[in-house]
Amino acid sequence: MSGAHVIENGAAHSRRPIQEPAPRQAILQAPGRLELRSFTLPVPGPGEILLEVRCALSCGTDLKTWRRGHPMFSLPTPFGHEFSGVVAALGEGVERFRVGDGVMAAPTAPCGRCFFCLREQENLCADAVGRMLMGAYADFILLPAHIVARNTFRKPSMLSFEEAALLEPMACVVHAHEMAKPHRGESALIVGAGPFGLLHLLVLRAAGVREIVIAGHGERRLRWAGELGADRVLDAARSDAAAEIARLNGGFGPDLVIEATGKLDGWHDALARVRRGGRVIFFGGCPANTALNVDTRRMHYDNLTLLAPFHYRTRDVRRALDLLSERRLGVGRIVNGHRRLSELSEVFAMLDRGEMLKCAVIP
């Protein structure tokens, strides 16, 4: 492919050279081992878009995969899945976009035809996570036709590329809140002060939830939670943390508890803290072969509602797009690190040490 041209709807169009220098893509070779490799730019096929990446965001799933691998991704694998960018080339039949458009996309899309899709459970579609787009830590990424058709959008001009890259995690949070239906006047506890916990905080705050408490670990994360608007921040390691939480709601405990650690201890803690008649969102996914111990008597007689949202549906992506476009949440504040693509190994070392919440990787 000539460095002086791109392909738009099958025709060559002059644009600045896009192969000088050679484009790079990060490959996770093994846990803790990242490599930047040069690659040949693909020509987009029918329905596809070649995107010049302007921002790729770090993610808790990426960090877990960097630490120990992931059962859903065979190594070595292209790495990164939260991104935004500019259209560099269009495949035949793509009519909603033009070369040069700013674009935001989710890295998955459902088939729209299967058992789950027909029951409005697109998050369980085998095409969704099963065909997840990886490789956002790169200069360019090829968006497949099924993602272009369902979960790709033109970026609003007032939205930064960093904010636009939050589309996928915001869609996950929206799905969880659609299930839990938080109310004004309620008291909510978030277990975990990481990026997802703080996204939940911002969405709950915008929904008018009366009191939001975050219980977590790490001085930096707890400070960031306070700066982002938590009404109360508790060090979960404190001996009196459980008693503090029990005093919420006039001594009844929180109406809604959101678990956002992805650790079994967090799941048990969330279940233990919710009030009678309350709701628990088990948001963070735990490692395989772990089991939650549930007191069946308490679950029954305390009338608990336990929810375990997974992934997102197409309507959640569109709602996330609306929320980001309104720019009322201030979600860009969660991105508190900026590094170049060439510094990606340093990014994950810093995330592992808890020195950043979310890093914008700028090619």
- Length of the chain equals 363
d(CA 73, CA 6): 31
Neighbours of 11 (CB within 10 A): 10
Reading the block at residue 124, the tokens are 């369980």
CATH topology match: 5-165+330-362 vs 179-307: no
Please write the tens of the pLDDT for every residue from 300-312.
999 999 999 999 9
Q: Does domain 179-307 have CATH number 3.30.360.10?
A: no
Please tell me the predicted confidence (pLDDT) of residue 9.
39
Task: State the DSSP code for 332.
Answer: G
Alpha carbon 95 to chain centroid, angstroms? 28
How do the domains of the chain map onto residue ranges?
5-165+330-362, 179-307
For the chain, which residues score pLDDT lower than 50? Answer: 1-19
Task: Give pTM, 2 decimals.
Answer: 0.92
What kind and span of H or E run contains 60? Answer: helix 60-68
Predicted local confidence at residue 20, as pLDDT: 66
Q: What is the pLDDT of residue 11?
A: 39
Q: Which two tokens stand for residue 11?
A: 């025709």
* Beta strand 77-78 pairing with 24-30: antiparallel
CATH number corresponding to 5-165+330-362: 3.90.180.10
pLDDT attached to residue 68 = 84
Q: What is the pLDDT of residue 235?
A: 96
